Amino acid sequence: MEVLKAAAESRSGTALVTVIDANGSVPRHPGSKMLVREEGGIVGTVGGGRGEAKAIDVGHRCIAEKCSRLIMVEMAGEAAEGPDMICGGTATLLVEYVADTELYRGAYAALQAGRRVVLLKRLAVSSGGAGGTVATVVWEEGTPQPVGIGTDAETLSLCMSTGKTRLSDDQKQFVDPLLPLEKLLILGGGHIGQILAMMAVKLDFEVTVVDDRADFSVAGRFPAEVKSVRAPFADAVASFHFDSATYVVIVTRGHLFDLECLRAVLRRTYRYAGFVGSVRKATMLKEQAVSDGFDAQKVAAVRAPVGVDIDAETPAEIAISILAEIVAVRRNPGAASAPSP
């Protein structure tokens, strides 16, 4: 995200370095990025060491010549005390002269709005020799897939849903998915909410826990990475920044508070929403929400009882079941709750 932001905001020549292939043990996986600035300095990293130094040097050459190149970085040094990296693998880096920052501004804006993005790059460039060109097509989540691009729709959808890159066998097409910052809003700081927050930070969610009780919203109750908010639930939902990368779990201390939260959440945009309780409770609260005038399809899409059915009983088991369901939705956007209000 930081590298894309720098590319989007650049007003001078830059080169975007992307790992597009890796074999063996390497420090950075495909999709990792670094921006090289014409005036000096970099943003991000593609692994450090001599390989990164080579990429920076080639980046400046590409900026000067207004072209793009592929370079190979070998990390198979044989001496522990030698200057070469000894990870044991090789990486292919695309060093791309960025001629159109508008394209990256659009992609960054989509990520800021919580939408997934795929950068489809056509590579008219080879390793070594003269420089070539890169043509990039941006596909945003929720828009029609681009046509006539030489990459099938199933591959594009798979890359967008999993976040995994794909390099074609002939190294002429690179599918580069970009995922927005994903947020988890936990409404209720009790036993389940506490453990859920602890586990979710390990899954790279930006976690916020809300409770209206002082003892259950004190910062020391949660890991340092978790934002704890003491406020009435409806007020907290109204002020929270929702988007299509937002996940919401309702685990308050009673069904009336759950209903209050459900009503507030249904007015917002999100990827996933669910609440704890029995099948009977879920049915009653959903029927009430429909009676309140909320869209029946959106109400039906709320996960309730929340979580994967693993016969969970303890707070930790329930938290695991919830996160398992959230990960399934994260990896398969088509399985998400209806995101529109």
Q: Domain coordinates of the chain in residue numbers?
A: 2-178, 183-335
- Beta strands, E only, the chain: 14-23, 33-37, 42-44, 69-74, 90-97, 117-124, 133-140, 166-167, 173-178, 183-187, 206-211, 227-230, 246-250, 272-275
Query: On the CB side of 182, how many CA atoms lie within 13 Å of its CA?
Result: 20
pLDDT digits (tens, 9 = 90+) for 250-272: 999 999 999 999 999 999 999 99
Neighbours of 295 (CB within 10 A): 14
Buried b (16+ CB within 10 A) or exposed e, 81-108: eeeebebeebbbbbbbbbeebebbbebb
Is the pLDDT higher at 298 or at 339? 298
Give domain 183-335's CATH superfamily: NAD(P)-binding Rossmann-like Domain (3.40.50.720)
At 39, list the tokens. Answer: 């005036």
Checking if the pLDDT of 128 tops 80, the result is: no
SS3 31: coil
Reported as a single tens digit per residue, the pLDDT across 101-127 is: 898 999 999 998 888 999 999 998 876
Confidence (pLDDT) at 334: 62
Taking the mean position of all CA atoms in its chain, how far away is CA 322?
19
Q: Is the pLDDT of residue 146 over 90?
A: no
The mean of the pLDDT values for the chain is 88
Residues 6+ apart with CB under 8 A from 85: 27, 47, 49, 50, 51, 75, 77
317 or 83: whose pLDDT is higher? 317
